[in-house]
Amino acid sequence: MSAPQWLEAWSAPDGAARARALFVERFGEEPDGTWSAPGRVNLIGEHTDYNGGLCLPVALPHRTYVALRRREDGSVRLTSAQDAGRLRQVALADVAPGTVEGWPSYVAGVAWALREDGHAVGGFDVAVDSCVPFGAGLSSSAALESAVAVALDATSGLGLAGPGGDPDDAGRARLAAACVRAENEIAGAPTGGMDQSASLRAREGHALLLDCRDGSVRQVPFDLSADGLALLVVDTRAEHALVDGQYAARRAACEAAAARLGVPTLREIAPSGLEAALATLDDGSDEGAVQVRRVRHVVGEIARVEEFVALLDAGRLREVGPLMDASHTSLRDDYEVSCRELDVAVEAARAAGALGARMTGGGFGGSAIALVEHDRVDDVAAAVAGAFAAQDLRAPAFAVVLPGAAAR
Ligand code: GAF
Protein backbone atom coordinates (compact mmCIF):
# COMPACT_ATOMS: atom_id res chain seq x y z
CA MET A 1 0.00 0.00 0.00
CA SER A 2 1.31 3.48 -0.84
CA ALA A 3 2.17 5.97 1.92
CA PRO A 4 -0.49 8.50 3.01
CA GLN A 5 -0.48 11.74 1.01
CA TRP A 6 -0.09 14.98 2.97
CA LEU A 7 -1.56 18.34 2.01
CA GLU A 8 1.25 20.77 2.75
CA ALA A 9 0.49 24.40 3.64
CA TRP A 10 2.68 26.97 1.90
CA SER A 11 4.69 29.47 3.90
CA ALA A 12 3.32 33.02 3.68
CA PRO A 13 6.29 34.31 1.62
CA ASP A 14 5.98 31.37 -0.77
CA GLY A 15 2.23 31.84 -1.26
CA ALA A 16 2.59 35.59 -1.79
CA ALA A 17 5.45 35.05 -4.25
CA ARG A 18 3.35 32.59 -6.26
CA ALA A 19 0.42 35.00 -6.56
CA ARG A 20 2.70 37.90 -7.41
CA ALA A 21 4.59 35.89 -10.05
CA LEU A 22 1.32 34.87 -11.72
CA PHE A 23 0.13 38.48 -11.64
CA VAL A 24 3.30 39.78 -13.27
CA GLU A 25 3.24 37.01 -15.89
CA ARG A 26 -0.40 37.57 -16.88
CA PHE A 27 -0.76 41.35 -16.45
CA GLY A 28 2.80 42.51 -17.20
CA GLU A 29 3.15 44.80 -14.18
CA GLU A 30 3.50 44.72 -10.39
CA PRO A 31 0.41 44.32 -8.19
CA ASP A 32 -0.43 46.90 -5.52
CA GLY A 33 0.16 44.15 -2.96
CA THR A 34 -0.59 40.57 -1.92
CA TRP A 35 -3.14 39.33 0.61
CA SER A 36 -4.20 35.93 1.87
CA ALA A 37 -6.99 34.21 3.77
CA PRO A 38 -7.33 30.75 5.31
CA GLY A 39 -9.68 27.85 4.76
CA ARG A 40 -11.23 26.38 7.90
CA VAL A 41 -12.22 23.24 9.72
CA ASN A 42 -15.12 23.34 12.11
CA LEU A 43 -14.46 21.60 15.43
CA ILE A 44 -18.17 21.24 16.19
CA GLY A 45 -21.47 23.03 15.45
CA GLU A 46 -22.39 21.79 11.97
CA HIS A 47 -25.39 23.08 10.04
CA THR A 48 -26.15 25.39 12.93
CA ASP A 49 -25.06 28.71 11.39
CA TYR A 50 -28.15 29.30 9.23
CA ASN A 51 -30.26 28.31 12.24
CA GLY A 52 -28.96 31.19 14.35
CA GLY A 53 -26.85 28.71 16.32
CA LEU A 54 -23.30 28.29 17.59
CA CYS A 55 -20.27 26.92 15.78
CA LEU A 56 -16.59 26.59 16.58
CA PRO A 57 -14.31 26.76 13.54
CA VAL A 58 -10.53 27.17 13.42
CA ALA A 59 -8.62 28.80 10.57
CA LEU A 60 -6.36 26.45 8.63
CA PRO A 61 -2.68 27.08 7.90
CA HIS A 62 -3.71 26.43 4.28
CA ARG A 63 -4.46 29.76 2.60
CA THR A 64 -5.53 31.38 -0.66
CA TYR A 65 -3.21 34.13 -1.90
CA VAL A 66 -4.21 37.01 -4.14
CA ALA A 67 -2.11 39.68 -5.84
CA LEU A 68 -4.31 42.63 -6.79
CA ARG A 69 -4.00 45.98 -8.50
CA ARG A 70 -6.64 48.67 -8.84
CA ARG A 71 -7.94 49.66 -12.26
CA GLU A 72 -9.74 52.85 -13.07
CA ASP A 73 -12.04 51.57 -15.85
CA GLY A 74 -14.51 49.49 -13.82
CA SER A 75 -13.47 46.13 -15.23
CA VAL A 76 -12.27 43.11 -13.30
CA ARG A 77 -9.65 40.88 -14.92
CA LEU A 78 -8.94 37.60 -13.15
CA THR A 79 -6.54 34.73 -13.43
CA SER A 80 -5.90 31.73 -11.21
CA ALA A 81 -3.24 29.05 -11.09
CA GLN A 82 -6.09 26.63 -10.31
CA ASP A 83 -7.75 27.67 -13.61
CA ALA A 84 -4.59 27.02 -15.67
CA GLY A 85 -3.79 30.75 -15.64
CA ARG A 86 -6.62 31.57 -18.07
CA LEU A 87 -7.59 35.25 -18.23
CA ARG A 88 -11.22 36.07 -17.46
CA GLN A 89 -12.93 39.44 -17.52
CA VAL A 90 -16.06 40.87 -15.95
CA ALA A 91 -17.46 44.42 -16.11
CA LEU A 92 -18.23 45.44 -12.54
CA ALA A 93 -21.31 47.38 -13.61
CA ASP A 94 -22.80 44.19 -15.10
CA VAL A 95 -22.38 42.06 -11.96
CA ALA A 96 -25.77 41.01 -10.59
CA PRO A 97 -27.37 37.78 -9.40
CA GLY A 98 -27.13 35.22 -12.21
CA THR A 99 -24.65 37.09 -14.41
CA VAL A 100 -21.27 35.56 -13.47
CA GLU A 101 -20.43 31.85 -13.47
CA GLY A 102 -17.76 29.70 -11.83
CA TRP A 103 -14.97 30.91 -9.59
CA PRO A 104 -15.01 34.54 -10.89
CA SER A 105 -18.46 34.86 -9.28
CA TYR A 106 -16.88 34.67 -5.81
CA VAL A 107 -14.38 37.42 -6.66
CA ALA A 108 -16.69 39.76 -8.57
CA GLY A 109 -19.40 39.01 -5.99
CA VAL A 110 -17.32 40.46 -3.16
CA ALA A 111 -16.76 43.71 -5.09
CA TRP A 112 -20.48 43.82 -5.95
CA ALA A 113 -21.49 43.26 -2.30
CA LEU A 114 -19.13 45.94 -1.01
CA ARG A 115 -20.57 48.38 -3.56
CA GLU A 116 -24.10 47.39 -2.54
CA ASP A 117 -23.00 48.20 1.01
CA GLY A 118 -22.12 51.74 -0.12
CA HIS A 119 -18.35 51.37 -0.46
CA ALA A 120 -16.45 52.98 -3.31
CA VAL A 121 -14.89 49.89 -4.87
CA GLY A 122 -13.80 50.04 -8.52
CA GLY A 123 -12.25 47.67 -11.02
CA PHE A 124 -9.09 45.61 -10.46
CA ASP A 125 -6.79 42.95 -11.82
CA VAL A 126 -6.28 39.93 -9.59
CA ALA A 127 -4.16 36.77 -9.68
CA VAL A 128 -5.00 33.87 -7.39
CA ASP A 129 -3.04 30.87 -6.14
CA SER A 130 -4.07 28.59 -3.31
CA CYS A 131 -3.07 25.59 -1.23
CA VAL A 132 -6.59 25.19 0.16
CA PRO A 133 -7.80 22.04 -1.57
CA PHE A 134 -10.79 22.69 -3.80
CA GLY A 135 -14.05 20.78 -3.20
CA ALA A 136 -12.68 19.28 0.03
CA GLY A 137 -15.15 20.97 2.36
CA LEU A 138 -12.36 23.16 3.75
CA SER A 139 -13.88 26.47 2.58
CA SER A 140 -11.80 27.22 -0.47
CA SER A 141 -14.55 29.58 -1.62
CA ALA A 142 -14.66 31.53 1.65
CA ALA A 143 -10.85 31.76 1.59
CA LEU A 144 -11.01 33.26 -1.90
CA GLU A 145 -13.78 35.71 -0.97
CA SER A 146 -12.00 36.76 2.21
CA ALA A 147 -8.63 37.28 0.53
CA VAL A 148 -10.32 39.48 -2.09
CA ALA A 149 -12.24 41.33 0.65
CA VAL A 150 -9.11 42.34 2.58
CA ALA A 151 -7.35 43.21 -0.69
CA LEU A 152 -10.20 45.52 -1.74
CA ASP A 153 -10.38 46.91 1.78
CA ALA A 154 -6.73 47.94 1.53
CA THR A 155 -6.63 49.13 -2.08
CA SER A 156 -9.91 51.07 -1.81
CA GLY A 157 -9.07 52.52 1.61
CA LEU A 158 -12.22 51.15 3.29
CA GLY A 159 -10.51 50.78 6.68
CA LEU A 160 -12.64 47.79 7.70
CA ALA A 161 -10.07 45.04 8.08
CA GLY A 162 -8.08 46.00 11.20
CA PRO A 163 -5.87 43.34 12.77
CA GLY A 164 -7.30 39.81 12.47
CA GLY A 165 -8.53 38.15 15.65
CA ASP A 166 -9.26 41.49 17.33
CA PRO A 167 -12.15 41.24 19.82
CA ASP A 168 -13.46 44.53 18.43
CA ASP A 169 -13.79 43.33 14.86
CA ALA A 170 -16.93 45.11 13.68
CA GLY A 171 -15.24 46.08 10.41
CA ARG A 172 -14.24 42.49 9.73
CA ALA A 173 -17.78 41.37 10.52
CA ARG A 174 -18.98 43.72 7.77
CA LEU A 175 -16.45 42.28 5.33
CA ALA A 176 -17.65 38.78 6.28
CA ALA A 177 -21.26 39.82 5.65
CA ALA A 178 -20.27 41.11 2.19
CA CYS A 179 -18.58 37.77 1.44
CA VAL A 180 -21.71 35.88 2.50
CA ARG A 181 -23.82 38.04 0.17
CA ALA A 182 -21.37 37.36 -2.64
CA GLU A 183 -21.70 33.62 -2.07
CA ASN A 184 -25.48 33.61 -1.62
CA GLU A 185 -26.52 36.09 -4.28
CA ILE A 186 -23.81 36.04 -6.95
CA ALA A 187 -22.34 32.52 -6.67
CA GLY A 188 -25.76 31.07 -5.82
CA ALA A 189 -24.75 28.92 -2.82
CA PRO A 190 -27.26 29.35 0.05
CA THR A 191 -24.66 28.94 2.81
CA GLY A 192 -24.68 30.38 6.34
CA GLY A 193 -21.91 32.67 7.59
CA MET A 194 -19.54 30.34 9.44
CA ASP A 195 -16.85 29.96 6.80
CA GLN A 196 -16.42 33.64 6.01
CA SER A 197 -16.33 34.53 9.72
CA ALA A 198 -13.68 31.87 10.33
CA SER A 199 -11.55 33.17 7.49
CA LEU A 200 -11.85 36.85 8.45
CA ARG A 201 -12.31 36.81 12.23
CA ALA A 202 -10.33 33.85 13.65
CA ARG A 203 -7.23 34.30 15.77
CA GLU A 204 -4.08 32.18 15.55
CA GLY A 205 -3.94 29.54 18.29
CA HIS A 206 -7.67 29.90 18.97
CA ALA A 207 -11.00 28.46 17.96
CA LEU A 208 -13.66 31.00 17.04
CA LEU A 209 -16.89 30.63 18.99
CA LEU A 210 -19.37 32.24 16.62
CA ASP A 211 -22.88 33.03 17.77
CA CYS A 212 -24.90 33.28 14.56
CA ARG A 213 -27.90 34.80 16.33
CA ASP A 214 -26.16 38.16 16.72
CA GLY A 215 -22.85 37.61 14.90
CA SER A 216 -20.79 37.98 18.07
CA VAL A 217 -17.56 36.02 18.52
CA ARG A 218 -15.32 34.84 21.34
CA GLN A 219 -11.73 33.71 20.82
CA VAL A 220 -11.31 30.39 22.67
CA PRO A 221 -7.68 29.29 23.27
CA PHE A 222 -7.11 25.98 21.49
CA ASP A 223 -3.66 24.70 22.38
CA LEU A 224 -3.36 21.15 21.11
CA SER A 225 0.33 20.80 21.88
CA ALA A 226 -0.15 21.51 25.59
CA ASP A 227 -2.10 18.25 25.75
CA GLY A 228 0.17 16.32 23.39
CA LEU A 229 -2.65 16.18 20.85
CA ALA A 230 -3.00 16.88 17.14
CA LEU A 231 -5.91 17.64 14.85
CA LEU A 232 -5.80 15.37 11.83
CA VAL A 233 -7.80 16.41 8.76
CA VAL A 234 -8.81 13.70 6.29
CA ASP A 235 -9.76 14.97 2.85
CA THR A 236 -11.81 12.03 1.61
CA ARG A 237 -11.49 13.22 -2.01
CA ALA A 238 -15.22 12.64 -2.36
CA GLU A 239 -15.96 16.01 -3.83
CA HIS A 240 -18.66 18.04 -2.15
CA ALA A 241 -20.65 20.91 -3.65
CA LEU A 242 -22.84 23.45 -1.91
CA VAL A 243 -24.59 24.68 -5.03
CA ASP A 244 -26.45 21.44 -5.62
CA GLY A 245 -29.87 21.00 -4.04
CA GLN A 246 -29.00 18.97 -0.93
CA TYR A 247 -27.62 21.80 1.17
CA ALA A 248 -30.51 24.06 0.18
CA ALA A 249 -32.98 21.29 1.06
CA ARG A 250 -31.53 20.99 4.59
CA ARG A 251 -31.80 24.72 5.06
CA ALA A 252 -35.35 24.83 3.71
CA ALA A 253 -36.46 22.01 6.05
CA CYS A 254 -35.09 23.89 9.06
CA GLU A 255 -36.79 27.11 8.03
CA ALA A 256 -40.07 25.32 7.45
CA ALA A 257 -39.81 23.65 10.88
CA ALA A 258 -39.04 26.98 12.58
CA ALA A 259 -42.07 28.54 10.87
CA ARG A 260 -44.31 25.69 12.06
CA LEU A 261 -42.97 26.13 15.58
CA GLY A 262 -43.53 29.88 15.45
CA VAL A 263 -39.88 30.84 16.09
CA PRO A 264 -37.57 32.98 13.93
CA THR A 265 -34.85 30.30 13.96
CA LEU A 266 -34.29 26.89 15.55
CA ARG A 267 -31.89 28.54 18.00
CA GLU A 268 -34.95 29.52 19.99
CA ILE A 269 -35.72 25.86 20.77
CA ALA A 270 -34.01 25.07 24.09
CA PRO A 271 -32.97 21.45 24.79
CA SER A 272 -35.64 21.38 27.50
CA GLY A 273 -38.29 22.25 24.90
CA LEU A 274 -37.07 19.78 22.28
CA GLU A 275 -39.46 16.92 22.97
CA ALA A 276 -42.49 19.24 22.84
CA ALA A 277 -41.22 20.76 19.59
CA LEU A 278 -40.70 17.33 18.03
CA ALA A 279 -44.20 16.28 19.08
CA THR A 280 -45.61 19.35 17.32
CA LEU A 281 -43.67 18.60 14.13
CA ASP A 282 -44.51 14.90 14.09
CA ASP A 283 -47.88 15.09 12.32
CA GLY A 284 -47.65 11.70 10.63
CA SER A 285 -46.49 13.12 7.29
CA ASP A 286 -43.13 12.28 5.65
CA GLU A 287 -42.23 15.95 5.75
CA GLY A 288 -42.96 16.11 9.47
CA ALA A 289 -40.77 13.06 10.11
CA VAL A 290 -37.89 14.68 8.21
CA GLN A 291 -38.29 17.89 10.19
CA VAL A 292 -38.18 15.90 13.45
CA ARG A 293 -34.77 14.49 12.51
CA ARG A 294 -33.38 17.81 11.29
CA VAL A 295 -34.51 19.72 14.37
CA ARG A 296 -33.21 17.02 16.73
CA HIS A 297 -29.77 17.41 15.12
CA VAL A 298 -29.71 21.20 15.21
CA VAL A 299 -30.84 21.57 18.84
CA GLY A 300 -28.52 18.78 20.01
CA GLU A 301 -25.59 20.15 18.04
CA ILE A 302 -25.90 23.64 19.49
CA ALA A 303 -25.87 22.10 22.99
CA ARG A 304 -22.77 20.09 22.05
CA VAL A 305 -20.95 23.30 21.06
CA GLU A 306 -21.69 24.73 24.50
CA GLU A 307 -20.40 21.56 26.19
CA PHE A 308 -17.30 21.49 24.00
CA VAL A 309 -16.43 25.10 24.82
CA ALA A 310 -17.06 24.50 28.53
CA LEU A 311 -14.53 21.66 28.40
CA LEU A 312 -11.98 23.86 26.61
CA ASP A 313 -12.53 26.64 29.15
CA ALA A 314 -11.92 24.11 31.94
CA GLY A 315 -8.67 22.87 30.34
CA ARG A 316 -10.25 19.48 29.58
CA LEU A 317 -9.51 19.22 25.86
CA ARG A 318 -8.86 15.47 26.20
CA GLU A 319 -12.52 14.95 27.06
CA VAL A 320 -14.13 16.42 23.92
CA GLY A 321 -13.89 13.21 21.86
CA PRO A 322 -17.34 11.81 22.74
CA LEU A 323 -18.93 15.12 21.68
CA MET A 324 -17.23 14.86 18.29
CA ASP A 325 -18.44 11.28 17.94
CA ALA A 326 -22.00 12.23 18.89
CA SER A 327 -21.93 15.10 16.38
CA HIS A 328 -20.97 12.71 13.60
CA THR A 329 -23.68 10.22 14.51
CA SER A 330 -26.27 12.98 14.51
CA LEU A 331 -25.09 14.36 11.16
CA ARG A 332 -25.13 10.85 9.68
CA ASP A 333 -28.45 9.61 11.03
CA ASP A 334 -30.60 12.68 11.68
CA TYR A 335 -29.25 15.30 9.33
CA GLU A 336 -28.29 12.77 6.64
CA VAL A 337 -25.33 14.70 5.25
CA SER A 338 -22.58 12.12 5.69
CA CYS A 339 -21.46 9.65 3.03
CA ARG A 340 -19.62 6.37 2.89
CA GLU A 341 -16.15 7.93 2.62
CA LEU A 342 -16.75 10.17 5.66
CA ASP A 343 -18.08 7.26 7.71
CA VAL A 344 -15.12 5.07 6.76
CA ALA A 345 -12.67 7.84 7.69
CA VAL A 346 -14.32 8.46 11.05
CA GLU A 347 -14.63 4.78 11.98
CA ALA A 348 -11.07 3.93 10.93
CA ALA A 349 -9.65 6.90 12.85
CA ARG A 350 -11.50 5.89 15.99
CA ALA A 351 -10.48 2.25 15.64
CA ALA A 352 -6.86 3.42 15.38
CA GLY A 353 -7.15 5.28 18.67
CA ALA A 354 -8.50 8.76 17.85
CA LEU A 355 -10.09 10.38 20.90
CA GLY A 356 -12.96 11.54 18.70
CA ALA A 357 -13.73 11.97 15.00
CA ARG A 358 -16.42 13.57 12.87
CA MET A 359 -17.18 14.94 9.46
CA THR A 360 -16.57 18.68 9.20
CA GLY A 361 -18.24 21.26 6.98
CA GLY A 362 -21.32 20.83 4.83
CA GLY A 363 -20.92 17.08 4.19
CA PHE A 364 -21.93 14.96 1.17
CA GLY A 365 -18.19 14.36 0.73
CA GLY A 366 -15.41 16.68 1.81
CA SER A 367 -13.36 16.23 4.96
CA ALA A 368 -13.37 14.63 8.39
CA ILE A 369 -11.36 15.60 11.46
CA ALA A 370 -9.92 13.41 14.20
CA LEU A 371 -8.41 14.37 17.52
CA VAL A 372 -5.38 12.15 18.00
CA GLU A 373 -2.35 11.73 20.23
CA HIS A 374 0.46 13.68 18.60
CA ASP A 375 2.73 10.66 18.38
CA ARG A 376 -0.06 8.58 16.79
CA VAL A 377 -0.72 10.86 13.81
CA ASP A 378 1.13 8.71 11.28
CA ASP A 379 -0.45 5.51 12.57
CA VAL A 380 -3.98 6.92 12.41
CA ALA A 381 -3.39 8.34 8.91
CA ALA A 382 -2.01 4.98 7.76
CA ALA A 383 -5.02 3.18 9.25
CA VAL A 384 -7.48 5.51 7.48
CA ALA A 385 -5.60 5.18 4.19
CA GLY A 386 -5.62 1.41 4.64
CA ALA A 387 -9.37 1.34 5.28
CA PHE A 388 -9.98 3.37 2.10
CA ALA A 389 -7.79 1.02 0.08
CA ALA A 390 -9.54 -2.03 1.55
CA GLN A 391 -12.89 -0.61 0.42
CA ASP A 392 -11.63 0.39 -3.03
CA LEU A 393 -12.11 4.08 -2.29
CA ARG A 394 -9.95 6.77 -3.82
CA ALA A 395 -6.87 7.45 -1.65
CA PRO A 396 -7.58 10.23 0.87
CA ALA A 397 -5.19 13.07 1.69
CA PHE A 398 -4.22 14.29 5.15
CA ALA A 399 -3.15 17.41 6.99
CA VAL A 400 -2.17 18.10 10.58
CA VAL A 401 -3.40 21.55 11.47
CA LEU A 402 -2.73 24.15 14.10
CA PRO A 403 -5.20 27.06 14.24
CA GLY A 404 -3.95 29.69 11.80
CA ALA A 405 -4.44 33.43 11.45
CA ALA A 406 -7.28 35.33 9.80
CA ALA A 407 -7.14 37.03 6.42
CA ARG A 408 -4.39 39.65 6.13
C1 GAF B 1 -20.86 24.84 4.66
C2 GAF B 1 -21.51 26.22 4.70
F3 GAF B 1 -20.85 27.07 3.86
C4 GAF B 1 -21.52 26.79 6.10
O5 GAF B 1 -22.22 27.99 6.10
C6 GAF B 1 -22.12 25.79 7.10
O7 GAF B 1 -23.51 25.75 6.98
C8 GAF B 1 -21.50 24.41 6.92
O9 GAF B 1 -21.54 23.98 5.57
C10 GAF B 1 -22.19 23.37 7.76
O11 GAF B 1 -21.98 23.64 9.11
O12 GAF B 1 -19.52 24.93 5.00
Q: What is the DSSP string of 71-85?
A: -SSSEEEEEEGGGTT
pTM of the model: 0.97
Q: For residue 23, how far is its CA from the centre of ligand 1 (angstroms)?
A: 31
Dump pLDDT digits (tens) for 155-175: 999 999 987 667 679 999 999
Looking at 129, 195, 235, 334, which residue is catalytic? Answer: 195
Q: For residue 31, how far is its CA from the centre of ligand 1 (angstroms)?
A: 32
Q: For residue 362, how far is its CA from the centre of ligand 1 (angstroms)?
A: 5
In the sheet where 356-360 sits, what is the strand order? 5-6, 397-401, 229-235, 367-373, 356-360
CATH numbers and ranges of domains, the chain: 5-221 (3.30.230.10), 225-401 (3.30.70.890)
Residue by residue, DSSP assigns 95-158 as: --TTS--STHHHHHHHHHHHHHTT-----EEEEEEE-SPTTSSS-HHHHHHHHHHHHHHHHTT-
Dump pLDDT digits (tens) for 100-142: 999 999 999 999 999 999 999 999 999 999 999 998 999 999 9
195 lines ligand 1 (CB under 6 A): yes
Residue 50 CA: nearest ligand 1 atom is 7
Dump pLDDT digits (tens) for 315-324: 999 999 999 9
Q: Which helix (H) or strand (E) holds 186?
A: none
| Res. 239 pLDDT band, cuts 50 70 90 | confident
Read off the DSSP letter of residue 214.
T
**Is 282 a known active-site residue?**
no
For residue 204, with 0-12 CB atoms within 10 Å meaning exposed, 13-18 middle and 19 or more buried, which class applies?
A: middle
Q: Please compute the mean of the pLDDT values over residues 279-285 and round it to a whole number.
A: 98
Dump pLDDT digits (tens) for 36-69: 999 999 999 999 999 999 999 999 999 999 999 9
Dump pLDDT digits (tens) for 175-200: 999 999 999 999 999 999 999 999 99
For residue 307, with 0-12 CB atoms within 10 Å meaning exposed, 13-18 middle and 19 or more buried, which class applies?
A: middle
